[in-house]
Chains A and B, each alone.
Chain A
Amino acid sequence: MTSMESFQSRFVEEATDNINDLENALLLLEEDPGNKELVERVFRAMHSLKGGGAMFGFDTLSDFTHHMESVYDLVREDKLQVTKDLLNVTLDSVDLMKKLLINDENGPDEASGEYRALVSRIEGFLKGAEVNAGQGPASAGTTGIAEPEKQGVSTYFIHFVPDKDIMKNGTNPLYLIDELSTLGKTQVIANTCNVPDIKEFDTSKCYISWEIFLSTSEDVNAISDVFMFVEDDCMLDIHKLSASDLLNDDRFTREIEGYRLIESEIGINSIKDFVDSLKEEDQARQSQSSKKKVTNGRDNAISSIRVSSDKIDQLMNLVSELVITQASLSLYTENSDNSELQPIAESVQKLTRQLRDNAFSISLIPLESMMTRFQRLVRDLSDELGKDIRFSAKGTETELDKTIIESLTDPLLHIFRNAIDHGIEPPEERIKKGKPGSGEIVLKAFYSGANVVIQVSDDGAGIDPARIREKAVEKQLITPDAVLNSKELLNLLFLPGFSTAKNVTDVSGRGVGMDVVKRKISSIRGEVDIESSPGEGTVITIKLPLTLSIIDGLLVRIGDSQYVIPLSVVDKIFAVEHETLAGAYNNLVVLDGEQVPFYYLREEFGLAGDPPATEEIVVVEYENVRIGLATDSVVGEYQAVLKPLGKFYKEQEIISGATILGDGSIALVLDTNKIINQFSNNNKIKEELS
């Protein structure tokens, strides 16, 4: 690798970080368009992308980013406002930047349609801003559009109740309101509840009163000046609501919109209360973000370093080696009479354990790193499908092994797509059902013992068990008269080729669905569970091991070999006479007064030798079914460092790996799910399971 190439690859790494940061900031900006700090962050990320790109030969990227940067320069100078449109274009641009970064040579270039389309959209914004700037503040004011640079803008609430006879002296109240709107941005709500029945209606009288929200840089006097000539003929209330532009605040406008719909008087008190609650919310957020800043600052002080993942893998391998070597040292010490060796071996054991925990924590990364992608997915898809969906995440500081995170992204994206496409209903339908118009998807992550649990829940339509049944019968997965409870019906979703979507859409429902999710999750030794109540929503729970490379296992002996069964699946251990097992009918044995199907591993593995008189059955849980695995004896608990068996044994799925014991011999780690699956292929138990 030449030095230029190595610089380039470092730039790509850095730029990827920058682009991710950019995307993240943009999504935050969408929620809080007025946040100057975020605009700065966006601008900075773009700036470093542009500079680095030019320096390392990513000219297309650099040129492109330059266009974007100019737009955000205007935003920074308040010449352009952050709108949904602008964010859409910017996010699309971020996608293009990603592509430009991956392959500057063969990817999209200046000539490609995508590039040109985006550049022209960006230029549209630039031109728009120029026109605005050219008009100047005065003219912008007269058009009723709030000029970008306004200082000391306040929001007023004006309650205007003209006398019924106001029109008699030639005054048209509408002109007053028109005049009012020249002062700034207005929201006018006409109250018509006093309009009488048509029979009593007198066309010369004015029955309407108005409630007007005005955001302006003028003071109260200017507003009352408007009403100067009608002061005596009306009831006028002017209140200053806030020293900020509330009409720019989505939450506020939404609230007003709500009042408009119910057609009743707002009243100054209720609106004041609402404004106060808004202020409180803002304050809370501000203190939160300042808290964030403090923690960020501390992070900076600690200063993290960038280490290639190869090096971490290497470290993990070495630590694993050390754990094994330490185990053999302990074993040797136990069997020797050397009293001086004992304390040394013990402290080696202690240090090794600390080192191991430390090294593992290095390779853990927080779930936070995936959230931007989900947020983006929710945003883009719900836009596309015309749904209103909010996404929130809790416990994203939960950490997982990086290899798990990598293999988790796709299944989670799939679950999200399902929730957005099938789960959450369109707004009209939701309102009809009495739910809030905007749906909600919540991701929750937390530790539970040696596991990490990730829950994705939505408050959508849920899954109708009857539909699953219908579909399963149609696909001949079950017989029409099969008796299944709702839990079992939901589990049918995990069978290959099952998709309940009525139509095949672009988003999900191509028939590859939850079975792929399940397969991927179990490939990282995780479990998926689905719960749903029709009409209320769906919860998908994923349970994952903390790390892939070390498992707590139960060491068992069969013949000359030792095997490890993951402790997480072990339910109970029973001692059973060999005769009982040998004479067992249909491979069923009664344990704890319960019939348990079992597999005689010695036979299934084709091992030679005579079984002992008393054998031990390890009962494991498999999809809520208990199954026994008969072994010669249980040796004990063992912390197994998982080693792959490699390509040559890729066909032997029942073995998930091997581990090296203290005496240097090898124990194979059994994948109990696969064993049961494989052994029961032509077995009665399969029928019981399905």
Chain B
Amino acid sequence: MSEKNLDQINSYLSFKLGEETFAANVSKVLNILEMTEITKVPRAPEYMKGVINLRGSVLPVVDTRIKFGMPATEYTSNTCILVMEVEVDGEQVQVGGLVDAVQAVLEIEKEDILPPPSIGSKYRSEFISGMAKIDDRFIMLLNMDRVFSSDEITDLRERTESSKLQQEVSMEEKKEKVKT
């Protein structure tokens, strides 16, 4: 279903995590909230920041920076919570993601999207659905379903080695495909 949406809507919301710019398909983003008080849930993983009251329902909030292996988010006046609907185990679930700043909605045509970087990327390729070049800068387009449905993201850094291997393997496969 997400693939279909991605095909149909070419709008992406870009946001910053640290110095880097990412973008998510707008079909996934329901809402952008200002930073509010987050109720911490005891004994939860570090990246699970807590829960907030979203118009009467309880919304879990994830520190996206920790998920991506960066230091925890420092709250500034630009810090926002992106309310997203993602698919976890075949179920649509709402989740909030902390981001350092929301930037703009970009129209990116399908043919302008490049395949994810293969070697040397800091991020696991399964989370990246593609790259786009905007004003001479590369923006990583995220596959939000994958990002939020994965439990083991906190150890992303430790996994980079294995993911590199995976990427190499997938590179080989691609080469094979090109040849045939």
Tell me the nearest residue of chain A to B91, going by C-beta.
Answer: A647
Asked if A286 lies at the interface with its beta carbon under 8 angstroms from chain B, I say: no
Q: Could you say which residues of chain B place their CB within 8 Å of the CB of A289?
A: none
Asked if B53 lies at the interface with its beta carbon under 8 angstroms from chain A, I say: yes
What is the minimal beta-carbon distance from A375 to any residue of chain B, in angstroms? 37
Cβ of A660 and Cβ of B93 under 8 Å apart? no
Within 8 A of A (CB), among B91-109: 91, 93-95
Q: Interface size on A (CB < 8 Å)?
A: 28
Tell me the nearest residue of chain B to A323, going by C-beta.
Answer: B56
Stretch at the interface among B1-9, B10-18, B27-35, B41-49: B41-49
Q: Mark B119-131, 1 if CB is under 8 A from A, else 0.
A: 0000000000000
Q: Could you say which residues of chain A place their CB within 8 Å of the CB of B41?
A: 645, 649, 652, 655, 668
Q: Could you say which residues of chain B place their CB within 8 Å of the CB of A658?
A: 39, 51, 58
Q: Could you say which residues of chain A place their CB within 8 Å of the CB of B57?
A: 643
Determine the distance from Cα of A325 to Cα of B57 in the docked complex, in whole angstroms: 12
Determine the distance from Cα of A567 to Cα of B134 in the docked complex, in whole angstroms: 58
Cβ of B60 and Cβ of A645 under 8 Å apart? yes
Asked if A606 lies at the interface with its beta carbon under 8 angstroms from chain B, I say: yes
Determine the distance from Cα of A660 to Cα of B60 in the docked complex, in whole angstroms: 14
Q: Mark A658-690, 1 if CB is under 8 A from B, else 0.
A: 101000111110000000000000000000000
**Given known contacts A646-B93, A666-B52, is B44 in contact with A607 (CB within 8 Å)?**
no
Asked if B165 lies at the interface with its beta carbon under 8 angstroms from chain A, I say: no
Q: Could you say which residues of chain A place their CB within 8 Å of the CB of B51?
A: 645, 649, 658, 666, 668
Determine the distance from Cα of A571 to Cα of B53 in the docked complex, in whole angstroms: 31
What is the minimal beta-carbon distance from A217 to any residue of chain B, in angstroms? 69
Asked if A654 lies at the interface with its beta carbon under 8 angstroms from chain B, I say: yes
Cβ of B43 and Cβ of A646 under 8 Å apart? no
Cβ of B56 and Cβ of A654 under 8 Å apart? no
Residue of B37, B44, B58, B94 with most partner-chain A CB within 10 A: B58
**Given known contacts A605-B43, A606-B42, A652-B44, is B56 in contact with A644 (CB within 8 Å)?**
no
Cβ of A646 and Cβ of B42 under 8 Å apart? no
Determine the distance from Cα of A655 to Cα of B45 in the docked complex, in whole angstroms: 14
Cβ of A666 and Cβ of B39 under 8 Å apart? yes
Could you tell me the dominant secondary structure of chain B's interface residues? Answer: strand
What is the minimal beta-carbon distance from B76 to any residue of chain A, in angstroms? 21
**Given known contacts A325-B56, A607-B42, A649-B60, is B37 in contact with A665 (CB within 8 Å)?**
yes
Q: Interface size on B (CB < 8 Å)?
A: 23
Q: Could you say which residues of chain A place their CB within 8 Å of the CB of B89?
A: 647
- Interface residue from A605, A607, A666 paired with B53 (Cβ < 8 Å): A666
Within 8 A of A (CB), among B67-100: 88-89, 91, 93-95
Asked if A651 lies at the interface with its beta carbon under 8 angstroms from chain B, I say: yes
What is the minimal beta-carbon distance from B20 to any residue of chain A, in angstroms? 24
Q: Could you say which residues of chain A place their CB within 8 Å of the CB of B53?
A: 660, 664-666
**Given known contacts A648-B93, A655-B42, A664-B53, is B62 in contact with A643 (CB within 8 Å)?**
no
Asked if A324 lies at the interface with its beta carbon under 8 angstroms from chain B, I say: yes
- Interface residue from A320, A325, A651, A660 paired with B44 (Cβ < 8 Å): A651
What is the minimal beta-carbon distance from B7 to any residue of chain A, in angstroms? 25
Q: Mark A602-644, 1 if CB is under 8 A from B, else 0.
A: 0011110000000000000000000000000000000000011
Asked if A171 lies at the interface with its beta carbon under 8 angstroms from chain B, I say: no
* B residues in contact (CB < 8 Å) with A: 37, 39-45, 48, 51-53, 56-58, 60, 62, 88-89, 91, 93-95
* A residues in contact (CB < 8 Å) with B: 320-321, 324-325, 561, 604-607, 643-649, 651-652, 654-655, 657-658, 660, 664-668
28 contacts between A and B (CB under 8 A): A320-B56, A325-B56, A561-B39, A604-B42, A605-B42, A606-B42, A606-B43, A607-B40, A643-B57, A643-B58, A645-B60, A646-B58, A646-B60, A646-B93, A647-B93, A648-B62, A649-B48, A652-B41, A652-B42, A652-B43, A654-B43, A657-B58, A664-B53, A666-B51, A666-B52, A666-B53, A668-B42, A668-B51
17 additional A-B residue pairs with CB within 8 Å, beyond A604-B43, A658-B51? A604-B42, A606-B43, A643-B57, A644-B58, A645-B41, A645-B60, A646-B94, A647-B88, A647-B91, A647-B93, A648-B62, A649-B41, A654-B43, A655-B41, A665-B53, A668-B41, A668-B51
3 nearest CB pairs, A to B: A605-B42, A648-B60, A666-B39
